[in-house]
Amino acid sequence: MRTYTTQEAAELTGSTVRALRKRIERGQLRAVQHGRYWRIPHSELERCGLIGPEGTETVQGTDDLVSVFAALERECAERRRLDQETARLRFLVTHVERITRELQRERAERRAAEARAAEATDAAEDLRECARELAAADFFTRRRMLRELRREAT
């Protein structure tokens, strides 16, 4: 059975010696210690997917890992940008909704003021008409009309 030192296994798999030692410490990679050195069986490297059956490097090479990591970084940056854009859009929507409510309130107030002005105009016209009738009436009719106006006012 072929065994490798951690240095040899690192060169063979494209990994680092430190990464292999960490796997051994965590129990993910079985190895036998001979004095100061660890010996890793070829079958263990195959079992963990670090090398193929012929001892070739697998897809887990450092170049592939770097490209995957770069893609993940780009994806995270895009996600952060989208989150910021979403927050900005939520703020804008809230602002637009507030302005819309204020405009609706102002329109309602303007309509109410226009209605009051129309009522005041109608009342003023009624008073002018009444004043014309009073000016044209004789003494007794004027007296009767004034009594009726006082009764309506109370």
> Is-contact 10 20, C-beta < 8 A?
yes
Tell me if the pTM is above 0.85.
no
Structure tokens at 152: 């309506």
The confidence score (pLDDT) of residue 59 equals: 47
Q: How far apart are CA 139 and CA 115, in angstroms?
A: 37
The closest of 51, 53, 54, 47 to 12, measured between CA atoms, is 51
Domain boundaries, the chain: 3-59, 65-122
37, β-bridge pairs: 34
Strand segments, DSSP code E, in the chain are: 3-5, 32-34, 37-41
Residues 6+ apart with CB under 8 A from 142: 134
CA angle 69, 70, 71 (to 5 degrees): 90
CB 20 within 8 A of CB 9: yes
What local confidence, expressed as pLDDT, does residue 55 receive?
44
* Tokens coding 132: 């014309």
Tokens of 15: 């990994």
Give average pLDDT by consecutive 10-residue segment, the chain, 154 residues.
89 89 91 90 87 56 70 90 96 96 96 95 91 90 90 84
CA distance 93 to 87: 10
Burial (CB < 10 A; 0-12, 13-18, 19+), residue 126, is exposed
